[in-house]
Chain A
């Protein structure tokens, strides 16, 4: 199941990240997970939120450059080696991972956000290999 991620372009400037978070707060948007990657001049804040359309609209209105992109949230066993197994399936099928980040961990399961070069194909591969993907509302 393909989910949406909200990405925001953030300059490396004091207080800039806080401005993004403030807009989300003002609009009652809840962040479920995030990843912040940066270069020396700017960063990309990638967010999984409860209402990505509303989040995008609010941030765009406040002058941020935003984008909704397709990602997959996989739920795998919380044991050593399970992520390795999952990625092997992808590389065997000639899929490359662009980035991923952790979402949540409970007793037996771990959820991970994953972005690949071909999300549609990846979704099919996961289904075929019985790797569980979940939607944002199931988190």
Chain B
């Protein structure tokens, strides 16, 4: 089901809305946010220079660093009294980034997520269990309001206590699961340990996954645990822009539709900042055009993707962004070679003898980097020949995929860490003393 008529507007109509809202937003931030005024003044730009979508690329970028420099409220465009909600990122790598919502922002957020839920196949009949951590993180509450808005029955079970999660799932007959893909796998594993087969004994038929990349290999692995007919979609967002609700996959599974009446996407070359044409891969930059609290202009997401504008089979006309193929700051440089963790994941998921959990360790030995991949052994064997062959095959496939040699360490099942939120599978020990 398509939630709102905006999703099927013609390209011309979408661009008209975007132009009007862009001009209005730029004027508003210039007048209300001294930080933006200075940024624009520094490059000799006035709000009246922004007349059409083509002028967007004249505006300076905003980065996470700008948010830290203005912590906590320096980029806000309304007085604090107008806010009805504040969220913040975890801030593991520095000061947290703080975002705020006005009453209108909350309405817009709910609308954006309602559309995404419907794209993924959700209806008012669904019992939606939200296994994202509630709290300062935007994921849980964002999905919560959107799903309630479309009339689904929301079970706000949050993360943790996985046995109880499975019990709710069974007893409340949950049909829709909101989680990170890696937590969905963990939940399936816990169900199996409890003697419950997620495919037969549970009724979950829809997975609305987010907050983590959903690679094809990961989707396949989710199907292995939860059943072939589960509708597994990925949705995208980040607290800086809104939280969940920026874009989401429809059931045609051909990219995530961006809520273009709320956001303008661009793809840039992350080194030069140059805007790239449709279909080219680069860093996603997003401008918020319908936000009051903290409307970021040309925010650099660091996520790598491509944009497509031709209308989708589902009937929606909003641009689609390809499922993420990495983050520019996720990329590892190992012995001078660019390595994305998703490439390693793809290799591991290709082996039925191995479990879906893994850990990547990078160390410095002398002047060289050493890559180790820890994996869990699912196959029971008492033959060294088989174990050696397996580890040799995994190593050979990694070498083909990455172009560098990796050490493969086989571990017993259930030894690697499990994650309830975003999985942290990389240990880069090169700069640790």
Contact = CB atoms under 8 A, between A and B. Distances in A.
Interface of A: 5, 7, 9-11, 37, 39, 41-42, 44, 46, 63-67, 69, 98
13 contacts: A9-B381, A11-B409, A11-B412, A39-B387, A46-B382, A63-B415, A64-B412, A64-B413, A65-B377, A65-B379, A65-B381, A65-B413, A98-B383
Q: Which of B379, B382, B388 has the most CB of A within 10 A?
A: B382
Given A9-B410, A41-B410, A67 B382 contact: yes
Contacts of A63: 412-415
Nearest to A38: B384
Nearest to B380: A67
B411 interface: yes
A67 B381 contact: yes
Contacts, number: 49
A11 B382 contact: no
Given A11-B410, A37-B384, A42-B410, 12 more contacts: A7-B381, A9-B380, A9-B387, A11-B409, A11-B411, A11-B412, A39-B387, A46-B382, A63-B414, A65-B378, A65-B379, A69-B382
Contact of B380 (A37, A39, A66, A98): A66
Interface of B: 377-384, 387-388, 391, 409-415
Contact of B388 (A7, A39, A67): A39
Nearest to A20: B412
Contact of A9 (B377, B388, B409, B414): B377
Contacts of A7: 380-382
B319 to A, nearest CB: 46
B388 A65 contact: no
A27 B213 CA distance: 43
B309 to A, nearest CB: 50
A5 B411 contact: no
Nearest to A44: B382
Contacts of A65: 377-381, 412-413
A11 B388 contact: no
Nearest to A11: B411
B121 to A, nearest CB: 36
Given A9-B377, A11-B411, A63-B415, A39 B382 contact: no
A41 B409 contact: yes
